[in-house]
Amino acid sequence: QFPPKMTDPNLTACSSGPEVRICIFLIRFERKPFEVCGNGWVRSVRPQKENLFLHVNDGSSLQSLQVVASSELNHRLLTFGSAVEISGSLVTSPSRKQEVELQADQIDVVGECNPVDFPFKIKKKHGLEYIRQFPHLRCRTNAFSSLLRIRSEATAAIQQYFKEKGFIQVHTPVLTSNDCEGAGELFQVEPAGQEKNQDEEGHQHFFSVPAYLTVSGQLHLEVMAGAFPGVYTFGPTFRAENSQSRRHLAEFYMVEAEISFTQSLEDLMKVMEDLFRSTTEHLLDQCPEDVALYHKHVITYTEAINILNSSSKKFAFKTDWGCDLQTEHEKYLVKHCGDFPLFVTDYPYALKPFYARDNQDQPLHTAAAVDLLVPGVGEMCGGSLREDRLDLLKTRLAQAGLDEAYGWYLDLRRFGSVPHGGFGMGFERYLQCVLGVDNIKDVIPFPRYSRSCLL
């Protein structure tokens, strides 16, 4: 059986963490080699006159296990990419490149692979753009299997961070009647091929009202923030943005949190920084990638505009006070501050959604909002204190023509409301930052974007 049980007197736990699943345990060989049966995919085949050498990988690590067998066990189906099941003895390796190797007694090809037709070739380095053409096969490459392990570790680290800090996880809905961001980039949802309900205006809606794929779980988190000091959600969000740029996806994952009993942007920034730091430290501890980012800077939006306007660089977009910061501006600001993560605070009030808290700081008139900008990406986190003053919120909603649609939101301020704030972190942008990946399509298992929904 595999993996071997720790009750076996020949085994000790490996303190440095697993390298490959078949090598989770170090073997004491004073008695005898350990009989194992393992499986995986062949990464290389090297036949010799008397011996056959294979490297087999089971997906748990970049490292493969060397398998040594008699040349009699060689088979025409034993090729690069084939799936195999191997039984034999795990022994100390004479090579310095690995601690153990598997001396095979039997090799069975479970799934054959024609190396001529297989789009990935042995010992050839394939670019990310090339492997992106094969979403159903790219997990077989070193680059993408590494990404998936890192993504899994980062997910676990984020969940662990919020658990340790006492946050309650909320599964916010994917289907919603709210347009949280107000940008209008929504996917409307209706059933296909079945009878639909029809409203008074002749519109047909399954839910009696228009329903959309969520762009954010924030408003639902604000509901829950009325009963808990800290809540968060981690799930898919959707934007119907007609873009094929390196920064945008139609479906992506967001980490969103809401914190009650706070009137300070510094409180939000502390959670953003701690989340970034603890997740990255976990990846540094568990993964080989060098992703050390441990410094930060803080500037206001007004200071950011002054930096941009004093630059000799020619920007494609305006840098007047009141303009929204574009990607080119965000990347320049990060570089200007030494290529460290950078917080930008106190954006113009008119740029922010109705729920952002009014700083009431005439004549500039800003909102208590903050973005975290990171190297190579630009904006990774965005958040704000929420407007908890009922009269100001009613006025803002009325001005936006949203007072009727968001009557329920006003109820949150009428019944036991507390000062609170929250933020969202783009998970794929986080991965881009720590791994130095230029295109967001290369850090998600199955990218969806304009004119592309493969699989």
DSSP code string of 129-167: HHHTT-TTTGGGSHHHHHHHHHHHHHHHHHHHHHHHTTP
21 secondary structure, DSSP code:
G
User: What domains sit in the chain, N to C, each tagged with a CATH number?
Assistant: 11-111 (2.40.50.140), 138-442 (3.30.930.10)
Positive or negative CA dihedral for 397, 400, 402, 404?
Answer: positive
CA–CA distance, 365 with 396 (Å, rounded to integer): 14
Strands 230-238 and 168-169: parallel
Q: What is the mean pLDDT of the chain?
A: 85
pLDDT category, 362, cuts 50, 70, 90?
A: confident
Res. 244: pLDDT tops 80: no
In this predicted model, what pLDDT tens digit does every residue of 276-332 receive, in sequence order? 999 988 988 887 533 332 235 788 999 999 999 999 899 999 999 999 999 999 999
Please name the helix (run of DSSP H) or strand (run of DSSP E) that holds residue 265, with its range, or none: helix 265-286
Beta carbons of 88 and 32 less than 8 angstroms apart: no
- pTM passes above 0.85: no
In this predicted model, what pLDDT tens digit does every residue of 39-90 receive, in sequence order? 999 999 999 989 999 999 998 888 889 999 999 999 899 999 999 999 999 8
Of residues 4 and 85, more confidence is placed in 85
Query: What's residue 405's pLDDT?
Result: 86
Q: What is the dihedral of CA 304, 378, 316, 241, to 10 degrees?
A: -130
> Angle at which helices 427-435 and 265-286 pack, to 10 degrees?
50
Q: What is the dihedral of CA 298, 302, 304, 310, to 10 degrees?
A: -140
Strands 369-374 and 212-213: unpaired
Of residues 195 and 23, more confidence is placed in 195
Strands 342-345 and 297-300: parallel
CA-wise closest residue to 99 among 90, 108, 107 = 90
Instruction: Give residue 58's identity as a one-letter amino acid code.
Output: D
Of residues 200 and 417, more confidence is placed in 417
pLDDT category, 352, cuts 50, 70, 90?
A: very high
Residue 432 CA: distances (Å) to CA of 359, 426, 439: 33, 10, 8
CA–CA distance, 406 with 165 (Å, rounded to integer): 31
Res. 31: pLDDT tops 80: no
Write the CB contacts of 194 (distance below 8 Å, at least 6 apart in sequence). none
Positive or negative CA dihedral for 195, 196, 197, 199?
Answer: negative
What would the mean pLDDT of 344-348 be, rounded to a whole number?
Answer: 95
Q: Tokens at residue 16, please?
A: 């440095």
Beta carbons of 14 and 28 less than 8 angstroms apart: no
Beta carbons of 55 and 67 less than 8 angstroms apart: yes
CA–CA distance, 278 with 283 (Å, rounded to integer): 9
What number of CA atoms fall less than 13 Å from residue 344's CA on the CB side?
28
Q: Tokens at residue 4, please?
A: 């071997």
Provide the percentage of residues in the chain whose pLDDT is more than 90: 58
In this predicted model, what pLDDT tens digit does every residue of 120-130 receive, in sequence order? 998 788 888 89
CA–CA distance, 176 with 157 (Å, rounded to integer): 28
Beta carbons of 119 and 106 less than 8 angstroms apart: no
Query: What's residue 214's pLDDT?
Result: 94
H helices present in 19-131, as ranges: 128-131
Res. 27: pLDDT tops 90: no
Of residues 115 and 197, more confidence is placed in 115
What would the mean pLDDT of 407-418 be, rounded to a whole number?
Answer: 91
Query: What's residue 395's pLDDT?
Result: 93
Q: What is the dihedral of CA 92, 96, 98, 104, to 10 degrees?
A: -50
Neighbouring C-beta atoms of residue 302, cutoff 10 Å: 16
Phi/psi of residue 361, each to 5°? Answer: -115, 70
pLDDT category, 10, cuts 50, 70, 90?
A: very low
CA–CA distance, 372 with 382 (Å, rounded to integer): 6
Q: Tokens at residue 228, please?
A: 């808990």
Query: What's residue 411's pLDDT?
Result: 93
Q: Tokens at residue 354, please?
A: 């109705």
Q: Which of 133-147, 189-203, 259-273 has the highest mean pLDDT?
A: 259-273
